[in-house]
Structure 1
Amino acid sequence: MLVFVKERLAFLSVPKTGTTAYQAALADRADMVVSDPPMLKHAPVYRYNRFFRPMFDKVCGVELELMAVMREPVSWLGSWYRYRQRPFMAGKPNSTAGISFDDFVLAYLKGNKPGFADVGSQANFLKSQPNGTGISHLFRYEDPQRLREFLEQRLEVTFDLQQLNVSPPMELQLSHSVEARLRRKCAEEFVLYDSIA
């Protein structure tokens, strides 16, 4: 998470959406960088609302707008699948080694997900709270130019991005039947992604 108090902006870090690169590029410009532990670095809206929002309200007297990046849902799952294919994951419960992408997605669709497929939900991460706390600025991972233009204008800064924390390259293809099940069971993910202007 990156916080810019003067600009009244908090950049939440949805996992597997390239936010580590933005943290590295903008850390010197930010008033606060939450890079560890992962539960705080990747604080979803509900956790921001519970812990961070009251702090900024009481200590700084500001209400921050929230921004985030969302990745196309199949691509997002593919990134998690590839990330958990890394060699050092071999033999660990979260490894996807020896598991097909179809089987990974089918496991993700289960109510009681096995460890390797328990990767959360972008829609749940970004869900607005009853008190109105929610994402004011949502960007598609696949449209980095729009995100960059927003940040450069809002923060009055230019920056260079490096690729960091990247999943290993791999061609992935979901079968039509599994993708149809994913789109039906996780419809809110696709609806939210499609709603991004």
Structure 2
Amino acid sequence: MLISISRRFVFVANSKAASTSIEKSLSRHADVVYQGSPDRKHINLENARVEFESLFSEVGFHRFFKFGVMRDPVSWILSWFRYRKRRNNPNALPGKMTFDAFWERKDWNFIRTDGTKRLQRDFFVSSDGKLLADYIIPYHELEPHYRKVCKALGVSARLPRVNVSQPGVTEAQLSGDTLSQLREFYTEDYELFNRLDSINANMR
């Protein structure tokens, strides 16, 4: 996560959604760079508003431009699967595990310890359902939207390619049953993802 007081922006780092690349690109403009452990780096907007209440209270949370990146939910979990299949990953999955077996396992990539779903929307929406982000970049159109955001922020920044996903299983390789189950599981994420055009049309 990045917070810039001078440029008045908050970048919320959704996982597996170019967060490292954007942080590398924009960190020189930030006054707060929240990196390190996943829980620290991938803090959502609701928790960031509470944790940095004193900072936001000076000018108002609503006056900061709050943005992040969201992937198609199936693409997002497939990226997680490919990442966790890497041998050097401390949370690596068994080498021969298929995606179907990963889905059936329902580990922390899908379900939190409190039993709630792990969703991308939680980075951008409050616990009572209020949208907190001003702009959510669709991952599949990352570069043109990122250029638009940088122009709105008044910064010139290139987007490096960092932590690029390795080749592996794709949506086309999933069984129809697994795909339909995933889309049902991520209903709330798809409801937000399908609204990105209308949300982003409101950029000031």
Distance 2:86 2:102 in 1: 15
Q: Deviations over 1:128-173 (max 9, x none)?
A: 2549571111110111133222232122222222221223221422
Secondary structure of the corresponding residue to residue 170 of structure 1 = coil
Distance 1:47 1:195 in 2: 23
Distance 1:131 1:175 in 2: 32
Large movers: runs of 4+ above 3 Å: 115-119, 129-133
Equivalences for residues 19-30 of structure 1 within 5 A: 19-30=19-30
Secondary structure of the corresponding residue to residue 10 of structure 1 = strand
Q: Evaluate the alpha carbon distance shift between residue 162 and residue 145 of structure 1 in structure 2; reply closer, same or farther with a 3 A threshold.
A: closer
TM-score (norm 1): 0.83
Q: Which residue of 1 aligns with 2:5?
A: 5
Q: Which residue of 2 aligns with 1:55?
A: 54
Q: Evaluate the alpha carbon distance shift between residue 5 and residue 124 of structure 1 in structure 2; reply closer, same or farther with a 3 A threshold.
A: same
Q: Deviations over 1:78-105 (max 9, x none)?
A: 110000011113xx65425221112222
Percent identical pairs in the alignment equals 26
Secondary structure of the corresponding residue to residue 82 of structure 1 = helix
Q: Which residue of 2 aligns with 1:111?
A: none
Kept in 2, the 8 Å contact 1:106–1:178? The answer is no
Kept in 2, the 8 Å contact 1:126–1:135? The answer is yes
Q: Check if 1:169 corresponds to 2:167.
A: yes
Q: Evaluate the alpha carbon distance shift between residue 160 and residue 96 of structure 1 in structure 2; reply closer, same or farther with a 3 A threshold.
A: farther
Q: Check if 1:80 corresponds to 2:94.
A: no
Q: Which residue of 2 aligns with 1:103?
A: 101
> What is the CA-CA distance between 1:116 and the residue it aligns to?
6.3
Alignment length (residue pairs): 188
For structure 1, list consecutive stretches of 5 or more residues without a partner in the other structure: 109-113
For structure 2, list consecutive stretches of 5 or more residues without a partner in the other structure: 113-117, 198-204
Q: Which residue of 2 aligns with 1:156?
A: 154
Q: Which residue of 2 aligns with 1:181?
A: 181
